[in-house]
Amino acid sequence: MSRVDSLFQPVTLDKLTLKNRIVMAPMTRTYSPGNVPNDLNVAYYRRRAEGGVGLIITEGTCVNHIAASGYPNVPMFYGDEALAGWKKVVDAVHAAGGKIAPQLWHVGAIRRPGVEPGGDTPGHSPSGMARPGKVSGHAMTQQDIDDVVAAFAQAAADAKSIGCDAVELHGAHGYLIDQFFWEGTNQRDDAYGGDLAARSRFAIEIIRAVRAAVGPDFPIIFRYSQWKQQDYAARLCDTPEELGVFLNRLSEAGVDIFHCSTRRFWEPEFEGSDLNLAGWTRKLTGKPAITVGSVGLNADFLPEDGTANFKAAEPASIDNLLERVERDEFDLVAVGRALIANPDWANQVAAGNFDSLAAYEKDMLQKLA
């Protein structure tokens, strides 16, 4: 048995069985004109499934709310045309032996008026702030909150009905759900603001509504991060105890799998232990966890200069990753840019062909078309 085999055994996580532990990380590409997935999108995902990925998590796809979208040409997850496009993606991934979960998304205050769909609608968020202390949009009313909760539930029901294998809720990176979690952008004085328990209420309502919409057996993945795109050093929880309380509330609401977004998977989350964020999440909740962040690459993805260019990176050793998989620190491993550069990354790694792996270059997304 070769060392990489630990990544390439079938794995059953309660409600989800996968042919291996490799997950395609969600990556926005803005290549769906009219906000509808097209044949090029189908081919893009099919190639990654053919390339051996066990589970594809799609690019962020917006739920049906007027202010959900923050970038042009992002595929929506509502409307007959977009759902028919997604169904083609799902069928192609299944035909290639893979599984797929859409990443359901609302950008919150990151939205600027003018992005379609949504026209002049301003960004919607807990306190109208994309950044701490700076009001730039609309503070959500109870009606807005109820509408967004219902939109996530409807999207999840639609995902199930077109044959998706799970859904992922985007609760990370300083977008809407995370804007509620983060004290910096949640200054509400109603039941949705205050301590972290209150700031989690919005997420919990979404998770419960999604669970009610999809039934008990359909897997719900929840992605979260300590860091925010607005502040890489931000943290929701400073200790394992706080993290345990935070995550167990989400777990009890209905999360099956946590996707723990970090930029560098090898970094310990708290002093005094080697465990990374996914390792702690699994230990504290008993739920399966996905790790992510520079797997197989020598540099993390976010630029320090605040530009939108995702960083280029060279292939790097996965020895540290394999050690952690062998120690059973986490369950699944998400790969981002390396899968843009190498659609067959999983098959190449399974075969030990490390020398044939290409570097990730900044303009690769554009070249994919």
Ligand X SMILES: Cc1cc2nc3c(=O)[nH]c(=O)nc-3n(C[C@H](O)[C@H](O)[C@H](O)COP(=O)(O)O)c2cc1C
* Binding flags for ligand X, 113-142, as an x/- string (CB under 6 A): ------------------------------
- Looking only at the bridges linking them, the beta strands covering 99-105 and 332-335 are unpaired
Distance CA 21, CA 94 (A): 17
Distances in Å between the Cα of 70 and the Cα atoms of 105, 114, 304 are 10, 9, 21
Residue 75 near residue 59 (C-beta atoms within 8 A): yes
**Closest among 159, 34, 154, 31 to 93, alpha carbons compared:** 159
Under the criterion CB under 6 A, does residue 26 sit at the interface with ligand X?
A: yes
Q: Which of 23, 25, 145, 341 binds ligand X (CB under 6 A)?
A: 25
- CB nearer to ligand X: give 63 or 335: 335
Q: Which is nearer to ligand X, 154 or 291 (CB)?
A: 291
Cα angle, residue 304 at apex, residues 299 and 308 outer, rounded to 5°: 95
Measured CA to CA, the distance from residue 252 to residue 255 in angstroms comes to 7
Among the listed ranges 87-95, 192-200, 277-285, 334-342, the one in contact with ligand X (CB under 6 A) is 334-342
Amino acid at 159: A
Residue with smaller CB distance to ligand X, 27 or 245:
27
Shortest distance, position 262 Cβ to ligand X, whole Å:
8
Instruction: Take residue 119 and report the two structure tokens written for it.
Output: 């026209």
CB nearer ligand X, residue 114 or residue 303: 303
> Minimum CB separation from ligand X for residue 221, in Å?
11
Q: Using the rule CB under 6 A, give the single segment among 128-136, 154-162, 274-282, 330-338 that binds ligand X.
A: 330-338
Token pair of 94, please? 């299944």
For 30: left if phi > 0, alpha if psi spans -120 to 50, otherwise beta; the answer is left
**Bridge partners of 14?**
none
Distance CA 211, CA 253 (A): 8
Residues 164-193 that bind ligand X (CB under 6 A): 170, 172-173
State the nearest-atom distance from the C-beta of 190 to ligand X, in Å.
28
Residues designated catalytic: 175
Query: In Å, how far are 109, 203, 215, 269, 328 from 177, measured between CA atoms?
Result: 11, 6, 22, 22, 29
27, 150, 162, 198: which one binds ligand X (CB under 6 A): 27
Say which amino acid occupies 233.
A
Residue 6 found at the interface with ligand X (CB under 6 A)? no
Nearer to ligand X by C-beta: 241 or 314? 314
Among 223, 228, 282, 324, binds ligand X (CB under 6 A): 223
CB of 338 to ligand X, least distance (A): 6
Residue 342 CB, nearest approach to ligand X (Å): 11
Q: CA-based Rg of the chain, rounded to a whole angstrom?
A: 19
Nearer to ligand X, 192 or 310 (CB): 310
Residue corresponding to tokens 């039934």: 215
Q: By Cβ distance, which residue is nearest to ligand X?
A: 336
**CA angle at 292 for the pair 11 and 210, rounded to the nearest 5°:** 70
Count of residues touching ligand X (by CB under 6 A): 25
Nearest approach in angstroms of CB 59 to ligand X is 5
Per CB under 6 A, the list member of 336, 343, 345, 349 interacting with ligand X is: 336
- For residue 262, how many C-alpha atoms fall within 13 Å in the half-sphere facing its CB? 22
Nearest to ligand X of 27, 204 (CB atom): 27
Residue pair 289/281 in contact by the 8 Å Cβ criterion: yes
Residue of 96, 207, 210, 88 whose CA lies nearest to 160:
210
Return the residue of 59, 158, 329, 344 that touches ligand X, per CB under 6 A: 59
x/- contact string, 275-304, with ligand X (CB under 6 A)? -----------------xxxx-x--xx---
Does position 365 bind ligand X by CB under 6 A?
yes
Q: Which two tokens stand for residue 214?
A: 């999809």
Binding site for ligand X (CB under 6 A): 25-28, 59-60, 103, 170, 172-173, 223, 261, 292-295, 297, 300-301, 310, 335-338, 365
